[in-house]
Amino acid sequence: MSTTVSRRAFLKMTGVAGGTMLLAGCGFIDSIRGIPETGLPQIENAWSYDGSTLSLDLSRLPEIQSLGGAVRIEGEALPAPILIVLGENGEYYAFKNACTHGGRMIDPVAGTMTLQCCSASKSTYDYDGNVISGPAQGPLTSFPLTLDGSYLLIEV
């Protein structure tokens, strides 16, 4: 025996009003919309770019002061958006923040030393940029970097 429930009755039963999804703000919805977990710097003037070197003042970037942390660096002066990660191994990594499948941004996956695209397809890469899974078309672009005191210098 089947029971038919009208849309209005369903919304009333589930507490969903006006078509608003209960899942709004969850990881699944963010992946549909292509919203990354990694944020922009909380403190202004934490970085500069001279046309070839991106200079990050680590003392002003709490986002990458703990193992597994990450921050997005974006700006019109930069040739591409950059994702900076402090891996759980204590090493810094810098990537062009664009999945090689459809260009969505990427995030580190806690505890795995991997990166994952924020799309629903979730291409996954290792910290060398190599594709582990998903429809990615090739490796992520990574940028060479050096530590100079409290500054991280990235050749972009």
Q: Which letter, b or e, does each residue of 23-33 get, where b requires 16 or more Cβ atoms within 10 Å of its Cβ?
A: eeeeeeebbee
Q: Does 121 bind ligand FES (CB under 6 A)?
A: yes
Residues counted in the chain: 156
Nearer to ligand FES, 31 or 58 (CB): 31
135 scored as a contact of ligand FES (CB under 6 A): yes
**Residue 101 sits in the site that holds ligand FES (CB under 6 A):** yes
Nearest by Cα to 131 from 117, 119, 120, 110: 117
Beta-strand runs (E) in 70-139:
70-73, 82-86, 92-96, 106-109, 114-117, 124-126, 131-133
Q: Which of 31, 38, 97, 119 binds ligand FES (CB under 6 A)?
A: 119
Compare residues 41 and 108 and give the one whose CB is closer to ligand FES.
Answer: 108
8 A C-beta contact, residue 95 and residue 142: yes
139 binds ligand FES (CB under 6 A): no
Q: 69 or 102, CB closer to ligand FES?
A: 102
Q: Three-state SS for 95? A: strand
| Residue closer to ligand FES (CB basis): 97 or 119 | 119
| By CB under 6 A, residue 94 contacts ligand FES | no
Cα 31 to Cα 33: distance, rounded to the nearest angstrom: 5
- Please choose, out of 39-47, 56-64, 85-93, 100-108, the segment that lies near ligand FES by the rule CB under 6 A: 100-108
The residues, ordered by sequence, that sit 6+ positions from 133 with a Cβ below 8 Å of its Cβ are 122, 123, 124
Q: Does 62 bind ligand FES (CB under 6 A)?
A: no
Q: Which of 82, 85, 86, 99 binds ligand FES (CB under 6 A)?
A: 99
Task: Give the interface with ligand FES as residue ranges (CB under 6 A).
Answer: 99, 101-104, 117, 119, 121, 123, 134-136
